[in-house]
Amino acid sequence: MSEQPKFKVTIDNITVEVPAGTTILNAARMIGGEVTPPAMCYYSKLEGSGGKCRTCLVEVSKGSEKDPRPMPKLVASCRTTVMDGMEVKNITSEKVLDARKGVVEMLLINHPLDCPVCDQAGECHLQDLSYEHGASGTRYEFDRRTFEKEDIGDYISLHMTRCILCYRCVFTAEQLTQRREHGILERGDHAEISTLLGKSLDNEFIGNVIDVCPVGALTDKTFRFKNRVWFTKPVDAHCSCTKCSGKVRLWMRGDEVFRVTARKDKWGEVEEFICNDCRFHRKSVSDWTIEGPSKIDRHSVISQGHYVGTKKQPVYIDKVIGKDPKLLMDIHKVSDVNRPEIELSKIDGPAHSDDFKKDR
Amino acid sequence: MKVLLEHAHVEGIRYYDTYRKNGGYRAVEKAFKMTPDEIVEEVKKSGLRGRGGAGFPTGMKWSFLAKPEGVPRHLVCNADESEPGTFKDRYLMEFLPHLLIEGLIVSSFALGCNATYIYIRGEYAWIVDILEQAIAEAKNNGWLGKNILNTGFDCEIYVQRGGGAYICGEETALIESLEGKRGNPRIKPPFPAIQGVWMRPTVVNNVETLAAVVPILNMGGEAYAKIGVGKSTGTKLLSVCGNVNKPGVYEIDMTQSVEEFIFSDEYCGGIPKGKRLKACIPGGSSVPIVPANLLLKTAQGETRYMNYESLADGGFATGTMMGSGGFIVMDEDQCVVRHTMTLARFYNHESCGQCSPCREGTGWMYKILKNLEYGKGKMSDIDLLWDIQRKIEGNTICPLGDAAAWPVAAAIRHFRDEFEWHVLNPDESQRRNFGLAHYADPIHVPTTA
């Protein structure tokens, strides 16, 4: 293979060199940290995904070295490829932050916000997104949209009210399974995920739609209301499965396996898709060879209590704004907890105030 | 000046024989004596701009078409005319189907397309029959099919009916729908000129644009460019509706002033019952509404003319757009709040639901406008509406988001006092309309724009 040309792209004043054809979002993911735009619909493993949720909008302040004109509108970073010398503004652009706040608000106005009874709570991308970019209150004063409840089989439960129509599950079924049995019906704000004439989804790999769903619209029926995800402990395990790689993540409490999911990387994307047998039927420890505790570093809630060996996201805020951030208040002056010289990832298990005592 | 509609009133012009007798298919004969590149050059010289709404130069669009070896190219005629207030293409197809077919043959030859599609709005069911009949007539007389006029050029025209979705008038959604998929707009790039129908290079043009290729070939690009004014060359069809004495389809050469167009007997013939002009949407429902004083004169006090540049003078703060030519006139009895609500309902209903700002925002705007119209609104709702439209505009995949946001923005920009009157007089706003007011004087331009 011939040498691929490398493009230089500057995102929020940080320059990286990426192969030609990389999208802005993936270039930003190579940098990592807070300069990475959030993505609700883009999924690097699914071809054709992205561009729909509009949370990853960025401002291109310089098109390329050859054509330095800025792009007139904000662009979806997940579907825009980089050009040589491109300059992108993400969190340094007021316009982007304002638009993103608007998108989050739009995503939430019809979302039921039933997190207390939602199985996805704790690992929900919409929760993370609204925590990071949303407003504290709503300006929406109308009834939220509802749908007729639909049963799509014994293993997957569909809550259409929670859906943000990212189309990920449609792409998953299209690209992973023999036949796609569900899709989007209707249009506009009444568009819904549905199967044709109430068919149930049964396909050997259809369980993966649960993992790709960024919200609680598609959840595991075998795990339904059994436990909260942050009480269960993620453990990497494998088995010799004839249908898939058998590399999974078990969510356990004591010796009990509450649910089985695929392993996800730090962007919340599945590393290897797993089959339905592994996901729904192997719920006993004896089915699996345990590898050890999983390292989760992105989702704040489910990583509580699992600090050891986690990888910290890089912090670029000084580079982004070009100077050290001026803190309104240094928390360490008033609190003994979270002392900077104590590395959280070195603490075994949940942090306790004893861990931060001076004389320890 | 009539160029497209020159023979529109000839008895039987819908049929081949009469059309041919009135000089039809001369453009095809002429085109086959030229090379495809010469035709594209001729269209470029004519300065023809897309008549579907955006006004993009057609010759330039054609020259962008990728021409890889061994890959078929397609021409698609966008006859999915669904914009409220626009019905010019219907008139053309209904009365002069052969003009469109002639334009399609010439354009297909210029672009090297052997399979050409007319994607027609589903509700135009009877026009499908008219077009099918015209295509059969053209085929029987050797203008379509294999080896046309012994030139070795093959061309077939297929008519495809849409399923009744406004969004399928957007070119990439149209392409998806034509392929038999759900009509969701595609994310650009890649543009249709590179990857369109079945991932092949495609040109999508409006009915009127393709019909205008015929007079361009007949009279030559330079002669066509002399019609009109400045960059607005040629003639434009306008479909006039609303409170005018003579609604209908008019062909203008874009030199008339707006005042002349509305009040002269040659065109709209003034407002009925001696009422006064309140506002107008000059280019189909998605372009900004403008009050009478800004419609007849620009913000600088110059006369406004019926062409692309003059109507757009002043940007969206004080101007509007030529759009697709759906000229909607409102007299002093019309309620802008109600009108805006109707449009918001339309865009809410027609949003494809693919990207979130448009899917959720259009419904939100409609609900707020409904409250305002029915006397349940609050003063803060007006600012909220402004904020919502600002967050939809420009942040969506396709222009439907913009099209939903602009009418709301313009209505608030120019008629804010009417919205406020609805909030302050909830009972009275149910009984009577606001009528003429001192709107836009001085011109109100919100600072958050």
Q: What is the pLDDT of residues A28-44, one digit of tens each?
A: 999 888 889 999 999 99
A110-225: CATH, from 3.20.20.70, 3.30.70.20, 3.40.1280.10, 3.20.10.10: 3.30.70.20
Q: Which residues of B touch A (CB under 8 A)?
A: 165, 167, 182, 187, 348-357, 359-364, 367, 384, 388, 390-392, 394-397
What pLDDT is attached to residue A201?
83
Contacts A50 to B, Cβ<8 Å = 187
Contacts A164 to B, Cβ<8 Å = 356
Nearest chain B residue to A80 by CA distance is B189
Between CA A73 and CA A87 the distance in angstroms is 14
Q: What is the pLDDT of residues B401-432, one digit of tens each?
A: 999 999 999 999 988 888 998 999 888 888 87
Domain region containing B144: 16-226
User: With bands split at pLDDT 50, 70 and 90, how would you rate the model's confidence at A175?
Assistant: very high
What pLDDT is attached to residue B17?
94
CATH of domain A6-102: 3.10.20.740
Q: With beta carbons less than 8 A apart as the criterion, state whether A201 and A158 touch.
A: no
Q: What is the pLDDT of residues A235-265, one digit of tens each?
A: 899 999 898 888 999 998 888 999 999 998 8
B440: in domain: no
Helix axes B88-95, B97-111, angle to 10 degrees: 100
Yes or no, beta carbons of A184 and B182 under 8 Å apart: yes
Our CA-based measurement puts residue A180 at a distance from the nearest CA of chain B, in whole angstroms, of 14
- Is the ipTM higher than 0.90? The answer is no
Do B196 and B94 lie in one domain? The reply is: yes
Instruction: Report the DSSP pairing between strands B290-291 and B277-281.
Output: antiparallel
Tell me the two tokens of residue B18. Answer: 């009469």
Contacts A57 to B, Cβ<8 Å = 395
The set of residues, in sequence order, having a beta carbon less than 8 Å from that of B133 and lying 6+ positions away, is: B97
Do B340 and B325 lie in one domain? The reply is: no
Between CA A132 and CA A74 the distance in angstroms is 20
The answer to which of A142-146, A173-177, A298-302, A306-310 has the lowest mean pLDDT is: A298-302
Residue B109 in this model has a pLDDT that exceeds 50 = yes
Instruction: Report which of residues B383 and A335 the model is more confident about.
Output: B383
Residue B445 in this model has a pLDDT that exceeds 50 = no
Do B195 and B212 lie in one domain? The reply is: yes
Mutation choice for B interface testing from A24, A54, A96 by most B CBs within 10 A: A54
- CATH 3.30.70.20, chain A: domain bounds: 110-225
Mean pLDDT of A152-162: 91
Residue B97 in this model has a pLDDT that exceeds 50 = yes
Contacts A47 to B, Cβ<8 Å = none
Do B344 and B325 lie in one domain? The reply is: no
- pTM, to two decimals: 0.90
- CATH 3.10.20.740, chain A: domain bounds: 6-102
A95: contact with B, CB 8 A cutoff: no
Which of B167, B384, B391 is opposite residue A99, by nearest beta carbon? B391
Nearest chain B residue to A192 by CA distance is B353
Nearest chain B residue to A101 by CA distance is B391
Number of Cβ pairs closer than 8 Å across A and B? 92
Angle formed at CA A37 by CA A32 and CA A38, multiple of 5 degrees = 105
B397: in domain: yes
Between CA B380 and CA A280 the distance in angstroms is 51
